[in-house]
Amino acid sequence: MGGARVALVTGASRGIGDHLVRALLEAGWAVVGLSRSGQVADGAEGMPCDVTDAAAVERAVADVVGSHGRIDLLVNNAGLIETERPLWEADVEEWWQVMVTNVRGPFLLTRAVVPHMIAAGGGRIINLNSGSGTRESDVLTAYHASKSALARLTGGVALAGAEHGVRAFDMAPGVVESDMTRSMELHRGRTEWTDPQDVTELALAIAGGELDGFTGRFLRAGTDDLDELRERSRAGLGEGERMLRLRPWGDDDPVAG
């Protein structure tokens, strides 16, 4: 089917999602943005959707495919972060809602979209991850756990999707100034933020197929150099590079093999 490539972006009404929608539009993509409000930048198609509601996600994806014929790119951007406090002081519902939004949401969207990508011969998924997913935090256990889990979704989809032309990527956006980052004690007083253009340039490179060698792996806006990423993508990466792995204490560690 002809026409513009089709991107589906969650959390599209503000922050990084809004930047991504605008950049994709400018690059010539047809963009559908999902959010609770359904609001989206001019030129994109907005659709209200709770990404944690399986039936709502199925309907939204069916509507997009019905209208546009396909989905070439899925960007799982919608996310939450909890109040910063030790785990034993956490509010149970708030803590779990972070996990639901940040893990169940991408799971539901990916589950609904990938069959259509397979039918069309392939597609790409960008999961908005974070360096938080590679380390621990004393006061953000839900957010960090959710991003670690998201990396496992990315890796699993990359493995199973390879034979179908479906590729998945973890893209860490750095620290872009937004409602969420400004609300965090961690960033109180911060004056240096990741330029949203660094995020959109990296996303467009992934979406355009320039970095397919990184399927199943982490990339970070604002730190990674795009030219180096392109070169490494062409050359190929080694086992475990830019992936979450257990680091053994040495060759004599029984888990090393």
Q: Hey, what amino acid is at 47? A: M
In the prediction, which pLDDT does 194 show? 74
Residue with tokens 């539009």: 25
Superfamily of 6-235 according to CATH? NAD(P)-binding Rossmann-like Domain (3.40.50.720)
The CA dihedral of 195, 109, 205, 120, to the nearest 10 degrees, is -160
The CA distance from 229 to 224, in Å, is 7
CA-based R_g, the chain, Å: 18
Residue whose C-alpha is closest to residue 132's, from 84, 90, 97: 84
Is residue 228 packed enough to be buried (19+ CB in 10 Å), middle (13-18) or exposed (0-12)?
exposed
Q: Where are the domains of the chain?
A: 6-235
In the prediction, which pLDDT does 174 show? 85
Catalytic, 108? Answer: no
In the prediction, which pLDDT does 105 show? 98
Contact 5, 208 (CB under 8 A): no
In the prediction, which pLDDT does 161 show? 98
In the prediction, which pLDDT does 180 show? 67
The CA distance from 56 to 198, in Å, is 32
In the prediction, which pLDDT does 187 show? 60
Q: 100: which 2 tokens?
A: 């639901």
| pTM of the entire predicted model | 0.93
Residue by residue, pLDDT tens for the chain (257 residues) are: 457 899 999 999 999 999 999 999 999 999 999 999 999 999 999 999 999 999 999 999 999 999 999 999 999 999 999 999 999 999 999 999 999 999 999 999 999 999 999 999 999 999 999 999 999 999 999 999 999 999 999 999 999 999 999 999 999 998 776 666 656 666 666 567 678 999 999 999 999 999 999 999 999 999 999 999 999 999 999 999 999 999 999 999 999 86
Task: Considering the candidates 107, 143, 169, 218, report the single residue annotated as catalytic.
Answer: 143
